[in-house]
Amino acid sequence: MLRAIQRYLGDRDVRRRLIFTVVVLVGYRGLTFIPLPEHAGQVTSQLQKIVGTDLYFTLNIISGGALTQNAIVALSVGPYMAAASLLEFAKLFVPALQEWEKEGENGRDKWLKLLYALTAVVALLTAVGLTSFTGLGLTGIVRQLAAIASLVTGTMLTLWLLQQIDEAGVGSGLTMLVFSNTLYEVLYFLSTSALTWGLIRFVAVLAVIVVLILLYIYLREAQRRVPIQSTKRVRGNRVYGGHNSYIPFPVMQVKVDTVLTVYSDLLLIAGIFGIVQSLGGGALAEAAEGVIGVLSGESRYSLPVYFIATAVVATLTSYLRIGEQDLAEGLMRTGLFVPGLRPGLSTGRYLERIGSAASTVGVVFVSFVVLLPPLVELIVGTQVPLIIFIGVWGAIDTAIDLNREMEALEIMRQYEGFTSR
């Protein structure tokens, strides 16, 4: 591992990308110290009131402490992830969004423009829902409007930083940002907990984390292989084709961002019901308060809602990623087929069924992670926030992605050196 890191750092292009990524992440950390306008601190206190201490703690870590700092990037990547999930689910009902994927670079530009616009709308709704105008004079209202504008601007600036990492850095901008924000908190939590839990409980929690890491690595590398065969062609006395291969269906179609997407969606819902609660009255306000109580974790229905929401989002994400591949049509174009099946519709249905069955294991794993905190508390007798498990999971995910990307960069550099000779 150390030799691999030394080899990667010896590459000039890799060093440049790493330095650029670090500079962007440091720039984001600097934004977490730029506060909202004066007397607008009730924006984040209103958020804690709506979503509860546990969800607030998680969102604060994901934002790099921007919530407690009352910073302009307090919403962080939440609106972006919520907007991305809404667009992904919209593919099920809007065929035009599916057609954009087939238009190449032009379709990608359309998708990004729509994503940015929807992110701004989600950030605006969330900021308005977390802002109270009750009992404020004209000056107070102006300051709250300035706070809303600052939160939306901070969200779009965060999105721009993520795009810079995607284009000129290493890894995914979203993954790198969340990883950098959560890594410190995970290490700090484990180091301080070692002094208060006692040796047995601390070792038990570490054992759970190690099992989580090993299980995720195993599932991430696991595949369901479907055999395929190329069509035989006879030219003169020679026979071409007829080679056997396979289509790998990964078991883990979803990653750590699935759980973070659920939190982002809950943040959006909290903002919307915050608006309803402030504008409505009577039964409507009571219903909004009940929903907010569930989201805040104060209700007995909170854990089942989190679990079901995570399972639904993971299932839909897996289904969409399998459907995006359009494998049946690709096999027909390249002269490949699944033995025993007719090319076309029959093959497509079979592959979709196999892919869905394979991804079910990944969906169960993601949903199980949500249940880890209460299970650990029940068995070990120690409270461990969910974000700790998410942070460990994200760290492993980021390390695997970075290793593969650096390997790809090194192979590309060697190939370019070979062709230039």
- Could you report the per-residue pLDDT of 149-196, keeping only the tens digit for each? 888 899 999 999 988 988 888 778 888 888 888 877 777 777 777 778
Percentage, residues of the chain above pLDDT 90: 2
Query: CB under 8 Å to 232, separation ≥6 — which residues?
Result: 239, 240, 241, 242
Lookup result for tokens 């901008």: 173
What is the rounded distance in angstroms from the CA atom of residue 48 to the CA atom of residue 51?
A: 5
With H, G, I as helix, E, B as strand and everything else as coil, classify residue 42.
helix
Task: Point out which residues pair with 25 in neighbouring strands.
Answer: none
Residue 157's pLDDT is 92
Amino acid identity for residue 241 in this structure: G
What is the rounded distance in angstroms from the CA atom of residue 306 to the CA atom of residue 302?
A: 6
Averaged confidence pLDDT in the chain: 77
pLDDT tens, position by position, 399-409: 787 777 777 76
Structure-model confidence comparison of residues 327 and 308, the more confident one: 308
Structure-block tokens of residue 357:
């069955």
Residues 162 and 28 sit within 8 Å (Cβ to Cβ): no
Number of continuous H segments (helices) and E segments (strands) in the chain: 16, 5
What is the rounded distance in angstroms from the CA atom of residue 63 to the CA atom of residue 13?
A: 29
Task: Point out which residues pair with 223 in neighbouring strands.
Answer: 250
Amino acid identity for residue 262 in this structure: V
Pick from 325, 314, 92: nearest CA to 226: 325
pLDDT tens, position by position, 355-405: 888 888 888 888 888 888 888 888 887 878 777 888 788 778 877 877 777
In this structure, the chain runs to a length of 421
pLDDT tens, position by position, 10-52: 667 777 888 888 899 889 988 888 887 765 555 556 666 655 5
DSSP for 62-80, written as a single string: HTTSTTTTTBTTTTTTHHH
Does the global pTM surpass 0.85? no
pLDDT of residue 135 exceeding 50: no
